[in-house]
Structure 1
Amino acid sequence: MKIGFIGTGNMGTILIESFIESKAANPSTITITNRTIEKALKIKNRYSNIQVTESLEKIVTENEMIFICVKPLDIYPLLARLAPYIRKDQILISITSPVQTEQLEQVVPCQVARVIPSITNRALAGVSLVTFGKSCQEDAKTKINGLMRCISKPLEIESDITRVASDIVSCGPAFMSYLIQQFIEAAVSETSVSKQDAILMSKEMLVGLGKLLESELYTLPALQEKVCVKGGVTGEGIKALESGVQDMFNRVFQNTHIKYEEDISAVKDQFLV
């Protein structure tokens, strides 16, 4: 299957690299382009057989599956330009959460889906969020799921939980990274541990925690219970967390949903044109 990518920013590049390194796709079957073509050429420096073009029309006409990896407000004008070149049998996939599949179907005649990846997919792990348009046939769904299964656990979601699902899957690594950085900085500030050792221990703790959860030996509450001995040190640490965290994550979801509604509104104005 020939795959085209329009946009080689952070997430577009992560998908391209993950598909190649998981052997989900051979570099020779992938064609890429970017507004700043030098970014696409940097990828070709690593994968010499990948195809690079400056022609958006070439991407559309020569590939069965096309990933649109551009900013939300760039999608409508891009698709309006390319719609005359798109065939009904092709599969168009947007990776942008504010753009709904039904909006894509207003503009293009082909099968459409939305796939929201995560940076964890770069390690061939984590979840990718999939929403199929009404136009998407079973064969197309199978191809999309098969491709994403090579780099993640694809999870089909409805549009009404897009934001919270994206917060957990796609934004979650950044949120957790921030918390771990604060954890490390506090350890260095409050004790004589070196930052290098604190980083090493924290990293290996996270890797071990991930493996524990993957093994399903413990649930999150059971794991906390196992470590937290009554009257022990861990319990005192949990008390500090309870007093400090409070509604922090509620506010995280509130903030992301406010921004999401703003993005949806801006995109909606375009698609109503």
Structure 2
Amino acid sequence: MNVGFIGTGSMGTLLIEALVASGALAPAEIAISNRTYAKAQAIADRYPGMRAEYTNAETARGSDILFLCVKPHEFIHVVGDIKSVIQPQQIVVSITSPVLVSHLEGELNCKVAKIIPSITNMVWSGASLCIYGETMSEKDKKRLESLFAHISEPLRIEEDYTRIVSDLSSCGPAFMAFLLQQFVDAAVEETGIPRNEALQVAANMLLGTGLLLTEGRMSPEEIQERVAVPGGITAKALQLLRRETDGVFNSLIRTTHAKFNEDLVKVSTAFYGEEVNGQ
């Protein structure tokens, strides 16, 4: 199998590294290109057999599966680069949420999918969110999911829910890391505990909590009930958290959705020449 990656920024590089490290792909199966050729070459130099191409068209031409790992405003230019060389049997995969499947299906004569990865895929964990175009067969879908199963749990979702599921899966690690950072910083400030010790304890707590939710099949409510003895320290602190964070995550979701819709309008305008509504 030949797999291409256009764009070697944060997420593009993460996918390349995770898929190679997990054994899902061999370096010799991968071709990459980037707006700055030297960046692509630097990655290829780390993996003997991987090919850095000078143009996006060259990366696209030889790929059975082609991942587009670029920012929303760059898609229209990348599509222009590859449009003349893409063939109907090829699969083009966007990893960018504001780029709709219909955007690509309207421009490229090939099979189209959208897969939203997460930074947790770096450690072969978390989900990858899978959305498929009309011409993707069940065999095509399973081919992609088999690839991503090496580094994640592939989940099929409806495109209408791309943003909210991305909030939970892809943005969520940053949100949880921010809250953990605040917890650790407060512990250091209030007690003087060395930060590295507090962070180690808190990080292992977060890992264990995730396992309780997944392997242990406990709900968030059940964990709170098991830990918080009525009238105890944890219960008192939970009362504070409920009071102080009331509505915070509603505002967070409204913020991410507003930014998503702003980006969606820009992408649609670039593809269609006018503003359109979309999800």
User: Unaligned 5+ residue runs, structure 2?
Assistant: 274-279
CA positional deviation for 1:157? 1.0
Quote the residue 2:219 is aligned against. 219
CA positional deviation for 1:55? 2.1
Q: Whole-Å Cα distance in 2 between the matches of residues 2 and 96 of structure 1? A: 21
Q: Whole-Å Cα distance in 1 between the matches of residues 77 and 46 of structure 2? A: 31
AA in 2 matched with 1:12: G
Q: Whole-Å Cα distance in 1 between the matches of residues 26 and 81 of structure 2? A: 29
Q: Whole-Å Cα distance in 1 between the matches of residues 238 and 148 of structure 2? A: 37
Q: How many residues align?
A: 273
Q: Please give the residue correspondences for 1:1-273 in structure 2 after superposition, counting only pairs within 5 Å.
A: 1-273=1-273
CA positional deviation for 1:204? 1.2
Percent sequence identity is 40
Secondary structure at 2:244's aligned position in 1? helix
CA positional deviation for 1:49? 2.0
User: Unaligned 5+ residue runs, structure 1?
Assistant: none
Q: Whole-Å Cα distance in 1 between the matches of residues 76 and 40 of structure 2? A: 22
Out of 180-189 and 211-220, give the one that drifted further.
Answer: 211-220
Please give the TM-score of this superposition, normalised by the length of structure 1. 0.97
Q: Whole-Å Cα distance in 1 between the matches of residues 54 and 120 of structure 2? A: 29
Q: Runs of at least 4 residues of structure 1 off by over 4 A? A: none
CA positional deviation for 1:22? 1.0
CA positional deviation for 1:118? 0.2
CA positional deviation for 1:189? 1.2
RMSD of the TM alignment (CA)? 1.1
Q: Whole-Å Cα distance in 1 between the matches of residues 264 and 55 of structure 2? A: 29
AA in 2 matched with 1:196: N
CA positional deviation for 1:44? 2.1
Contact 1:6–1:68, Cα closer than 8 Å, also in 2: yes
Contact 1:105–1:135, Cα closer than 8 Å, also in 2: no
| Post-superposition CA distance 1:23-61 (Å, at most 9, x none) | 111111001111112222222232122111112221111
Secondary structure at 1:67's aligned position in 2? strand
Please give the TM-score of this superposition, normalised by the length of structure 2. 0.95
Secondary structure at 1:115's aligned position in 2? strand
Out of 88-97 and 33-42, give the one that drifted further.
Answer: 33-42
